[in-house]
Amino acid sequence: MGTQDMLNELIVQAKSTLSRFRLDGKVALVVGGNKGLGQGMSLALASAGADVWVVGRGPDGLEETVSAIVQIGRKGRFFAADVTVEKEVERVVETVLKESGRIDILVNSQGTVHLQPATEFDMGEWQRVMDVNLKSVVLLCKHVGRVMLGQGKGKIITISSVRGFQGRAEDLAYAPSKGAVNQLTRSLAIEWGPKGINVNGIAPVFTLTAINRTLLSDPKKKEWVLSRIPMKRLGEIEDLFGPVVFLASDASNFVNGHTLPVDGGWLGA
């Protein structure tokens, strides 16, 4: 192929750049899509063209998220389930397949936190955090992964945290669980990448959601957080719109095993 032919081919490919971010005809499953980051990312995926299933313990937020998806112009459905239980995960996946026929995108946005001095740490709370933040992610990846392997294609996005890269005082559960999610993301990317499945993560910094509201309501703690972020502001839910659509779309087809910090420079400071 000559130089001009190569340039002409590049021109054709370049013209498709924006269309590669579109998710038309795709079916997304967003776990934790009833509130916070998961709710916001559900709406972003719908705005890019996907039909979206949202899953949460329910009922709070599920109907509201689906109603917003429908207002955007896409199909939205919800399913109330405890995704720390394997049988419940199997039921979710079976229902989505029965009604939508496929699962193209999985976003694991479920999460919880418990902070307590290490020598007094409640091991019941430790187990609860591990079940929600890690076990449920493993279960969803296991069962949705089977579907995607059968399809020969899929996008899995795990929601981690900057704490997945750092320790924190009084945190024997949340930070370790998110570090494990980062390693899970890498392991699945290695195993499933050759089979057409991209597995990546997003690691937000402190964002104004329910899980952070108590901490950020303390002026001194909020001031400390802002002092660590070079961009000098907290994360906003909309800051995840671009990253989640990118990782869910064909625009990221050669991105695999990466956890993308969306942190205003926190980890680089």
Model-level pTM?
Answer: 0.96
Beta sheet of 259-262, edge-to-edge order: 76-80, 51-56, 27-31, 105-108, 154-159, 197-204, 259-262
What average pLDDT does this structure show over 70-82? 97
pLDDT(213) > 80: no
**Around 77, how many Cα atoms within 13 Å sit in the side-chain half-sphere?**
14
pLDDT at position 58? 80
pLDDT at position 216? 77
What average pLDDT does this structure show over 35-52? 97
Q: Report, as residue numbers or ranges, the catalytic residues.
A: 174
Give percent above pLDDT 90 in the chain: 90
Quick one: which of 209, 204, 112 has its CA closest to 157? Answer: 204
What average pLDDT does this structure show over 208-217? 74
Give percent above pLDDT 70 in the chain: 99
In the chain, where the domains are located: 23-268
Task: Name the band, by pLDDT with cuts 50, 70 and 90, for residue 137.
Answer: very high
Q: 164 near 174, Cβ under 8 Å?
A: no
pLDDT, the chain, mean: 95
Task: Name the band, by pLDDT with cuts 50, 70 and 90, for residue 169.
Answer: very high
Question: Mapped to the 3 state alphabet, what secondary structure does the chain carry?
Answer: CCHHHHHHHHHHHHHCCHHHHCCCCCEEEEECCCCHHHHHHHHHHHHCCCEEEEEECCCCCHHHHHHHHHHHCCCEEEEECCCCCHHHHHHHHHHHHHHHCCCCEEEECCCCCCCCCHHHCCHHHHHHHHHHHHHHHHHHHHHHHHHHHHHCCEEEEEECCHHHCCCCCCCCCHHHHHHHHHHHHHHHHHHHHHHCEEEEEEEECCECCHHHHHHHCCHHHHHHHHHHCCCCCCECHHHHHHHHHHHHCHHHCCCCCCEEEECCCHHHC
Out of 3.30.70.980, 3.90.1300.10, 3.40.50.720, 3.30.70.270, the CATH code matching 23-268 is: 3.40.50.720
pLDDT at position 11? 95
At 235-247, the pLDDT tens digits run: 999 999 999 999 9
pLDDT(72) > 80: yes
pLDDT at position 214? 72
What average pLDDT does this structure show over 151-160? 98
pLDDT at position 217? 80
